[in-house]
Amino acid sequence: MKFAIFASGTGSNAEVLIRSAQAGELSGEVALVVSDKPSAPVLAKAEALGVKAELIRPAAYKNKAAYEQELVSRLQSEEVDLVVMAGYMRLIGPVLLSAYEGKIINIHPSLLPAFPGLDAIGQALQANVTVTGVTVHYVDAGMDTGPIIAQREVALEKDDTHEMLAKRIQAVEHKLYPAVVKQLLNEKLGEES
């Protein structure tokens, strides 16, 4: 089984997934890391770990459909079975969704449906909630609206700053995401045998 990771930023979840796959903890390999941002540290991290990393810039294509068709072509050429979003900051459109329906997952730093979209951690702090968390979900046409696969709670503490809460959420993400990817890859292997 092969999976691709899409990321726009530092790539901490991508790195955890790559290392988990390379350690044999996942029944699959990372075939490709894709970023839409030329300055994204995830590209260098992936290459340093020996994984093919590609910058595919949306601005280089005439529209979103053409951009996504290029993504689909790259994914198919690498025989990717699952697409794992790890801080990829773009809404997925119909071209990619239809080609990989039910095969794209995302991780989000809140207990969805609460605090979708950008800066979920800031939203949780501003709302003064006592609990937030992490959600892994299938990607659909909405913003963080796809069916939920798994969630884990993270308590807010009275003196939490954005950075403190982000670190605790990230620690949960780094355990939950590999576990979910492992489960999905094992299910796909079961379907094939």
The answer to whether the CB of 28 falls within 8 A of the CB of 1 is yes
H or E stretch covering 72 = helix 64-77
The answer to whether the CB of 51 falls within 8 A of the CB of 71 is no
Compute the distance between CA of residue 150 and CA of residue 188 in angstroms, rounded to an integer.
17
- CA 180 vs. chain centroid, Å, equals 11
Task: Give the pair of three-digit tokens for residue 96.
Answer: 């990619």
From 50, 37, 42, 40, select the one nearest 13 (Cα to Cα).
42
**Catalytic residue (one of 108, 137, 162, 174):** 108
**Is 108 annotated in the active site?**
yes
Task: Give the pair of three-digit tokens for residue 136.
Answer: 């892994």
Task: Give the pair of three-digit tokens for residue 161.
Answer: 């700053």
Task: Write out the catalytic residue numbers.
Answer: 108
